[in-house]
Amino acid sequence: MTQFSESANEKYLLIRRNVPQCMIYENIYSCGVPHGFNLLDFCLIMNTLYKPHLSIRIFSKKFSNNVLKTRLSYNSLFNRSIHEKHYSVVAKVQHTRVEEELHEKAHIDYDRVAIKWNPSIAKLYEDALKYEEGSAISSTGALVTASGIKTGRSPKDKRIVDEPGSSNDIWWGPVNTKLPEQVFLINRERAVDYLNTRKRIYVFDGFAGWDPKYRIKVRVVSSRAYHALFMRNMLIRPTAKELESYGSPDFTIYNAGAFPANRYTTGMTSTTSVALNFHMNEMVILGTEYAGEMKKGVFTVMHYIMPVKHNVLSLHSSANEGHGGDVSIFFGLSGTGKTTLSADPKRLLIGDDEHCWSDDGIFNIEGGCYAKCIGLSPEKEPEIYNAIRFGSVLENVVYNPYSREVNYDDSSLTENTRCAYPIEYIPNAKVPCISSDHPKNLILLTCDAYGVLPPVSKLSPAQAMYHFISGYTAKIAGTEEGVTQPEATFSACFGQPFLVLHPARYAKMLAEKMQQHSADAWLINTGWNGGAYGVGERIKLKYSRAIIDAIHSGELSKAEYESYGVFNLQIPKSCTGVPSELLNPSKTWKGSENEFKDIRNSLANRFIQNFKDYEDQATPEIISAGPILS
């Protein structure tokens, strides 16, 4: 087996890409060794990459180093024995099924790279601590890791291969950018070449989807133990018996995120590339080590496969179940309370982020949770806080180097501090994460920083579709750099970056499910009341929880309602545990009536302008369910 020094190991790929064979065979005598390369290592690399019998002759003429000649001769004989199928050197090596598959499908060099398949948590800890800078064990036993320069997703660098089998279904545009398959293959080759320079790579085989009828087999190939442990938590972990009959994966992720994409390659705009290919059933990551790209990559795949191949609705949502079997789905963008409100101690948690709604019920896509950690405390979110223990992965957090206690309020590295942990670490999780009951309540969460949306509204089916497609919330000062005033933001289906099909297709499927199972829909504002951000007050969490409890108890389905103008929403006149005056924003507004109307109409107009992007595939009934300005 060819052995390179550490420096050559890092430069192997550079040579592989940038030194043409003509230089090796015709110009090496005059050109010499490229700048920055050790002579011995350079010769060994050339001997491995190109024709050994020719390179040995050329280098031997040029240089008289006896050590070099000896090592070149050994490598030359070794490589020639393989080419001539004289396997006496490697006959005793028995390769596993996984090694053979990776070698056959991706040309992973199993003779020089140690392939660690589904390693234990303890082994992944050991390797991360030994080989990955920035790794540590927290005071509670979690693995602390660093994702490098990128501490969040790179949505502008996400691309999907434009190929005949899927092209007509994909919603092309700002969310899904076309990528020629030839460019995907270049990036794939680049990723594999990088993985072949590592001394070890990690392979994890798991499932996406808790329903065996619809689940897919996902394989993750990565160079970091951190990435393997992350996906071990986020995918569904197979039992020993399931691994025996696992077979080949349905989808494979090649994560070479520590190595950059070539920005001069056609279609590349930066050194980061996250590319999916539904023809090859593969995903390739270059130029980012942020683990969330893998999690959301799997979700994007399910967002395509489930609706198109199985007529199963995929949803960016959390879900829980009452002890009587009633299921609720929570939709919401960051900061709306989706995770907090769905984590109800009186109900079982099915999942916190990604689900599918089939003819048989609802099931979680994931085997774990990926929670935000900024500001985390045992008082606010005890379930999440206590889930951070051995086996969990803490990303980009700041900790005391002596005590290893994490400071969850420190955002000096990033606001997007995260923890990934298995869902069974949540005490009231329902495992398996699947329910044969169909959702009875769809809860659409928004954080309205303008203070004009009611704390709770009952939606008609058409209104539910309108607000589902709109996906409204508001950014507030401090949430993002440069934001000083509330900013309305819309994310179709409450998860636009992960959509593959047109939002109207998901909305149509959701409307059919609602009608079939007589589900109610609610718009819940967890934002401001009594005035806009800076004047009014944020709706207290206890009031939002009381509203959710009233929905689950059936109280609000029987309540008396009044119409709320412009947005044409139906709002209850009373709700147990909530002051009645809070239910109608116009009654608690601290400014003038004209000011209230101006801000309300301004937000309504933003809804109308945003929805113009979807009118071409929305029904007249859905379009008319939005705000109306006279």
Enumerate the active-site residues: 153, 296, 316, 334, 338-339, 353, 418
Beta partners for 434?
363
Alpha-carbon dihedral angle through residues 48, 51, 57, 62, given to the nearest 10 degrees: -60
Q: Where are the beta strands (DSSP E) in 91-175?
A: 114-117, 136-137, 143-145, 158-161
* Distance from C-alpha of 319 to C-alpha of 342, rounded to nearest angstrom: 7
* Distance from C-alpha of 427 to C-alpha of 387, rounded to nearest angstrom: 9
Sheet order of strands, 327-331 included: 348-351, 318-321, 327-331, 439-446, 520-525, 456-459, 569-572, 561-564
Contact 115, 98 (CB under 8 A): yes
Residue 210's identity, in one-letter code, is W
Question: Residues with Cβ < 8 Å from 253, sequence gap 6 or more?
Answer: 218, 219, 220, 221, 222, 231, 282, 283, 284, 285, 294, 297, 298
The candidate with the shortest Cα–Cα distance to 341, out of 377, 381, 308, is: 381
In the three-class reduction of DSSP (H, G, I as helix; E, B as strand; rest coil), residue 390 is classed as: coil
* Distance from C-alpha of 356 to C-alpha of 329, rounded to nearest angstrom: 11
* Distance from C-alpha of 555 to C-alpha of 552, rounded to nearest angstrom: 8
Token pair recorded at residue 314? 């995929």
Contact 490, 503 (CB under 8 A): no
The candidate with the shortest Cα–Cα distance to 361, out of 392, 391, 329, 403, is: 329
Which letter, b or e, does each residue of 551-586 get, where b requires 16 or more Cβ atoms within 10 Å of its Cβ? Answer: bbeebbeebeeeebebbbbbbbeebeebeeebbbbe
Contact 327, 321 (CB under 8 A): yes
In the three-class reduction of DSSP (H, G, I as helix; E, B as strand; rest coil), residue 309 is classed as: helix
426 alpha-carbon distance from chain centroid: 20
* Distance from C-alpha of 99 to C-alpha of 81, rounded to nearest angstrom: 21
* Distance from C-alpha of 107 to C-alpha of 192, rounded to nearest angstrom: 7
* Distance from C-alpha of 494 to C-alpha of 506, rounded to nearest angstrom: 11
Contact 272, 150 (CB under 8 A): yes
Token pair recorded at residue 498? 């992960």
Residue 10 neighbours by CB distance under 10 Å: 11
Counting every residue written for the chain, the total comes to: 630
C-alpha distances (whole Å) from 179 to each of 186, 275, 277, 410 are: 11, 8, 9, 39
The string of DSSP letters for 396-456 reads S-EE-TTT--EETT--SS-S--EEEEEGGGSTTB-SS-EESSPEEEEEEEE--TTS-S-SE
